[in-house]
Amino acid sequence: MLIYNASQLITLTPQPQRGKELGTLNIIDNGAVLIRENLIEVVGTSPDLLEKYPNEPKLDARGKVVMPGFVDPHTHLVWAGDRASEFELRLQGKSYMEIMAAGGGINATVSATRAAKKPDLLAQTRARAMDMLQHGTTTAEAKSGYGLTLSSELEQLEVLLALDNEGPLEIVPTFLGAHAVPPEFSDQADGYTELVIGQMLPSLNDWWQQYGGDRPLPFVDVFCETGAFNLAQTQRIFETAKKLGFPLKVHADEFDNLGGTQLAIKMGAVSADHLVKTSKDDILAFSDSPTVAVALPCTPFGLADQHYTPAKAIVDSGGLLAIASDLNPGTAWCGNMQFVLGLACRYLKLTPAQALAAATINAAAAIKREDRIGSIHLGKQADLIILSVPDYRHLAYRFGVNLVERVIKRGLILKG
């Protein structure tokens, strides 16, 4: 179909935007885009494309913004239950790490997720996926990590593959068996690390060959943090994962700087995420690295923490910056990337254009999909959203409302 009469057709760039290039939107006023066989074939102005393709099925954007669908490169989409009681504890002054040490935090969700029947886990996860789609996210990374046994971790991946097959939200899976040390390994972090290395990763590799279809291997992620996995344990997991061919990600510098960011960059990880306590040396290390720095502003917001990712410093140093929701039950039950843009502008000090690029083409790079999604260019997947407003800056300016009027995934209209 031919989508025309866009007040702003935001095409961005075919490749991710580094440093001061971040925010290059390449807007076509009164723009139009031709979609054929689920792919983008032509972009240009409405008068030009209407003249060249008069017989195409048409969709009038009615003077609204047309842009790429959001890409959310860091979510914990699959879990059961909630942790509303912990929110109340934090309001009473308990820290995230104190709650975790007392048996709450990740392990509370582990208990609920292990106990959930697979159909219920699938239903709860599907509801969150559909909510993300309604708010304009067309592709999302999603992690396991709330099972912490081989069988329960694989079950979470089964749920993610099932939802990806169902669609319409496209899901990019990540194995996060090293999310926390489970209760049965209390004070035995090295022992659990051995289990991840010796059993989980080789079994995952075999399992994926059977059930992953033609998808690339999932990412392997580690929570390198005080109270989770130290630098040496993270490195051992990474080394094993890399030998097996898995691409790497890391949770790093959320509460303490243990060196996880430098390790991720050194080992060629696709992304390093959180990055709140990231040092100046770490920031500079991003400047000539393909590793994407992923900021998760919903998490400090959810924790009422004053400290956020030093995003401007990463951009100024020439790094690749993306933003993500960190959708999870403990600190950031929010899959709305529009709200993430609003936080990124207010607390990461990005411009609306920088935030938009960080949530699309750079976010696609954070999941190794920049060749397929994240911008509006010839041959890319036709994943688009049409806003209810004529100017993209409303996405960060307004909050608490859904400004996505239509969602188009692989050329099919899903909403509106």
What CATH number is given to the structural domain containing 270? Answer: 3.20.20.140
Residue 1, burial from CB neighbour count under 10 angstroms (0-12, 13-18, 19+): middle
262 and 287, same domain (yes or no): yes
Last residue of a domain, one of 338, 365, 392: 365
326 and 406, same domain (yes or no): no
102 and 213, same domain (yes or no): yes
Q: What is the extent of the structural domain holding 62?
A: 2-69+374-415
Contacts of 182 (CB under 8 A, 6+ apart): 107, 110, 148, 149, 192
Contacts of 285 (CB under 8 A, 6+ apart): 261, 262, 265
62 and 202, same domain (yes or no): no
379 and 403, same domain (yes or no): yes
Asked whether the CA dihedral 42, 43, 44, 49 is positive or negative, the reply is positive
Total-model pTM = 0.97
161 and 179, same domain (yes or no): yes
21 and 103, same domain (yes or no): no
Contacts of 117 (CB under 8 A, 6+ apart): none
* 165-222 pLDDT per residue, tens: 999 999 999 999 999 999 999 889 999 999 999 999 999 999 999 999 999 999 999 9
200 and 58, same domain (yes or no): no
For the segment 31-53, the average pLDDT, to the nearest whole number, is: 98
- What tokens does 301 get? 């917001």
Question: What is the reported pLDDT for 416?
Answer: 62
375/48 Cα distance (integer angstroms):
21
Asked whether the CA dihedral 212, 129, 275, 291 is positive or negative, the reply is positive
170 and 219, same domain (yes or no): yes
Long-range contacts of residues 85-88, Cβ cutoff 8 Å, at least 24 apart: 86/330
218 and 129, same domain (yes or no): yes
**For 66, which DSSP code?**
E
* 69-123 pLDDT per residue, tens: 999 999 999 999 999 988 888 888 888 778 877 778 888 999 999 999 999 999 9
Count of domains forming the chain: 2
CATH number at residue 6: 2.30.40.10
30 and 158, same domain (yes or no): no
107 and 158, same domain (yes or no): yes
Percentage of residues of the chain with pLDDT beyond 90: 93
153/133 Cα distance (integer angstroms):
24
* 26-38 pLDDT per residue, tens: 999 999 999 999 9
**For 43, which DSSP code?**
E
- What tokens does 384 get? 């688009």
* 245-301 pLDDT per residue, tens: 999 999 999 999 999 999 999 999 999 999 999 999 999 999 999 999 999 999 999
End-to-end CA distance of the chain: 15
* 297-356 pLDDT per residue, tens: 999 999 999 999 999 999 999 999 999 999 999 999 999 999 999 999 999 999 999 999
